Structures are given as structure tokens and as C-alpha cells.
Structure 1
Amino acid sequence: MKSDASTSAAALKGAGAPGRSGEPRREAAAPAPPRLLLEEASDLLVVHLDFGAALEACERALRGLPPAGGPAPAASMEVKCSLCVVGIQALAEMDRWREVLSWVLQYYLVPDLPPKVLELCILLYSKMQEPGVVLDVVCAWLQHSDNQGLPEYRAVAELHLRRVLLPLGRMSEAEEFVMGSRAFGEEQQEEVLQAVHAAKLQLKEKLSGTLEAQKLNQEGSFSHKFLSLLTLLRQLWDSAVSRLLSLPLKKSLLAALILCLLVVRFDPASPSSLPFLYQLAQLYRRIRKLTLAHLHPLALRD
């Protein structure tokens, strides 16, 4: 019995020890702690520039942390914030910056967002000229009472004002935010309001310049159309004149008379048109005399 007990105890004790062949027996590998995965993700991001693997390491570590809204120790919250920062950088490097906000909100509720993560999101979308994506999230975060006592609250408020509200042209909303926010003192309110007024003037100048450019474009298009019409009329007139000159003299005068009748639209039988017809007949006789006088010397020379 002693030998059996000692044998079983030795077997249990040496379950993880190397066998006779010298090879250790492999057990199921335990998942790496989030802090080690954070170091691995940082190394993949900065040193190896493997952004996809860095994002995957961040997601594996985040799955091992408490879910959004749940209680968690301060150390875990710090690691979680750093993992989100690395993941945001990896997404931006892969040109997947549009997914950043939705990716972060998988692991945080809006009021629980760390200021560092929120600031990074504001700067990213502001740089990509789409600050409206984070407008609602930042407003909700700033209005939450638990966040108004944080030391980073003022920095987030200034970023929200300068990188979100002013670029979006929300001037009245920016003024109300400055006057009603606890983040700015009296002196700071004056400075920020001056910046808001300056941005408002720039916006008005920009709008007036846009309207003037539109007017100039409209005038330019009208003048271009008018010149095109004049060019077309000139081409039609030149073609008509060349056509008349190519015809014999009598046909040319007859065509000119018909053209005058069509254009002027007068009645040849009315008394008011007799002077015009008389002058036209005299003009025809003069042209005929000049033509015959020009042709007569040529006939004598021949």
C-alpha cells in the first residue's frame, strides 16, 4: 500500500516535469495578460510597423478586460486606455480612420471615455476635416456631471470649441458654450469669445467672397453666351454676303430686295415704301453704269 501511494504521489508531482526523453510535457497555454499584450502591440506598431497585428493584439487584450460600464480597478482602466490609444493609431495608419469612433465605443460608454482617448478622436477627425462625426459624442461627454470635475475637462472643452464647433460654423452654439461652460474663467471667456468673433468675421468674408465669385461666374457665362451669339450672327452674315456676291448682279440685287422685304417687313404697295424703292432703283442704275463703264474700256482694248 505504501508503494502504491508513493507511486501515485510521484506521478502527480511529476506531471509537468520532463519525461525520460528530455522533452517537457506541454500543457494548455494560458492567455497572456493584457499588460504583456499592450507591450506586444506597442512593439508591433512602433518597431515592426505591423499595424494589423498591433490592432489584433489590442483587441485580444481588450477582450480580457472588464466590459464597458462594469467596475474595474484603476490599473486595468489605465491599460485599457493605452490599448485604445495604440488601436486608434493602428487604424489611422491603415487608413481606417472612419472606424475609429465606432471601434472605441465597443469598449467604452460615452460618459466613461478617457479624456486622452477623446482628445485623440477629436484631433484625428479634425485633421481629416470631418469634425461633425464626434460632435454628439463630445457634447454628451462634456455635459456629464462626473466629467466636469476632471482636470482634463478644460482641454477637452477647448478642443471641442476650436476643432469642432468653429470649423463647423456653429458660431452661436460656440458662444453659448463658452458663456455657460465651467471650464473657462472670466479672462479665459473673453479670450475665447474674441477667437469666436474672429472666426465669425472670417466666415462672413468667406461667404461674401463665395457670393462675389458666383456673380462673376454668372456674368462671365452671360458675356460668353452673348459673344458666342454675336459670332454666330457674324458668321451667318458673312456667309450670306459671300453667297450674294457669288451670284450675278441682277440676282444679287433681287436677293437683297427680297432680304430687305423679309427683314424690314414693309409693304411695297404702301406709299411709305415708295421712297425706299425709288432709292433702291437709283442705286441699281448707278451700279449698272459703273459696271458698264468698267467693262467698256476693256472691250475697246480687246
Structure 2
Amino acid sequence: MNKFVRIDTCQICESSVQPEIIVSIDESNKKSYLDYSKIKYDGLIDDWLNKIKVEIIHCVKCNHYWYREQPSQDMLNEMYASNINLRPASNNIDGSVSSKIKNEISKLMWIIRKPNPLLLDYGSGAGKWAKIAVDVGFKVTAYEPSKERSFEKNELSFTLVHSTDSLKHLLFDVINIEQVLEHVSKPVELLKEVRKYCAPGAVVRITVPNILRCHEADKIWQEWPYNGSRTHTMAPFQHLHGFTPNSLRSVIFKAGFIPINGLRIWLRYPKEMIRQLLGIWFPRLGQTFILVRVR
């Protein structure tokens, strides 16, 4: 269904305080929007300017950012299907990236401490994490709703599904949600869905981009929607939400999860745990990585 969804109040903390408008498309930046639409989506989202006011708003209570009017899932699927990769295309995983992913997954294997553990890579994209998780020793199911974003022509070492119907009645020891929540209209509802797939004692790993530590730094809103060279952290409509450490914590609790803070977590993630604590008082020092379990 090609309809836009309007979100006037913060769905993260449900604050009754009127959100503030941060940026919007007007005559001063319309060309930048159209330039990005052309090089990224072959002009597909040009016409959206005639249907909605493209603007990003901000919750002053939980510090969350989002597009007030967002495309329907069908429209997003069409947008992703027309995606033009602005980086050199490759199915191979860079060595340094592969090493980092393997290190992360090995930590999860050590924390869960189960024989033949089951891992769900939720929003798996091209399957980078899923492939390496198999090598580490997990039995992996990868869920990726967009067929265009996965490499089904390759011989797969894991189970790939494109519908949550295929996940019914399945339970997993580890669920990896690597930079997914910022792409969906309703992140709280997504996490509530994920709870259904958690086995007793399951660990859920969640990461999102931290809008307070983005590559644009202090020029984040001056360079929106496109600076002519690099995709913006809140490029239309690639990321629908801009998370901060505070708004990520709010999402976690609202969806029925709690952070995991045990000794085993501290032993494997000392820097991350310290930054999580610092982020409570100093948001720019915090991070948008968290391990959680069902409350």
C-alpha cells in the first residue's frame, strides 16, 4: 500500500511534549534532496516531495529523532529494490571487518555457553554476520525481508528466510539485530516481535548508529539531506530514526527487555560497559550497543 505514515508524537517514550522540528526540505536544500534521489534511487523518491513535507523532528524528553512522515513498508521495499550502491560492489567481506565480526560473535558464543547454539540474524542484509557465525559454531537462521539485499545465488551455509512466517515456533539462543531498528517505522513493535523467538536465557545483541557520534559531527544538520559526496546519517528515507544512547535504552525497556550486566558481560565487554554507564550522564560519551534479555 503506497501510503505515508505520520508520527507526530514520540513512540519511544510517548512524551506528551510537542516535538521540535530540526530540519525540513525547502527551496534552500531541495536540489540536494533531488540529487540524492537521482544517484541513490534513480529518482524514485522525487515525487514524494509532492505528497508530504519531508522533515525530521526531535523528542526533547528522550532525545530521539525521526521523520515525521514515513513511507509505508511497500514503498520502502520498492525504494530498497531500486537502490544503487554508492560503494564498489563486492560479495566478499573485507579482512578487517571480518575479523571484527568474528570477534563479536566469538564473545557471544563464550557468553551463551551452550553446545550447538542457535542464532537468528534478524535483518541479515548480505549475510556477512550469518556466514561468520556459522564458522564460529552457531547454527544460523538469517531473516532478510528484502530479496534484493541478499545474495541467494551463492551457496549458503545457513538457512535464509524472507518472511517471519518461517520463524514461527522457532526459538534461538542468540539474536543479532545489527543496525536494523533505524530502518523500520516501528522499532518498539519489531522488538516485541523478536521476543517471540527468544529461548530461555537468550541473549539479544542490538546496535544502531549513534546520532550523537555521527560522521558529520557538528555539521549534521547543515549537511542534510546530502552533501554531494557521502550518504548522510539521516539520509531520506534510508534511516527513519536517529537513536541516542538514551532513546535506545527507552526502546529496550518499552519492548520488554532489560540490559544484561553480569560478570561475564563485563569480562568480554569492559569498554562498552564503561561507556554505557558514562552515557547516562554524558550522552556524547555513550554508545548505541547493548546486550539484553527478556524481562
Larger helix proportion, structure 1 or 2?
A: 1
Larger strand proportion, structure 1 or 2?
A: 2
For the pair shown, the structure with the greater C-alpha radius of gyration is: 1
Comparing both chains, which one has the higher relative contact order based on Cα–Cα distances under 8 Å and sequence gaps of 6 or more?
2
TM-score range, shorter chain: under 0.3
TM score, norm. by length of structure 1: 0.24
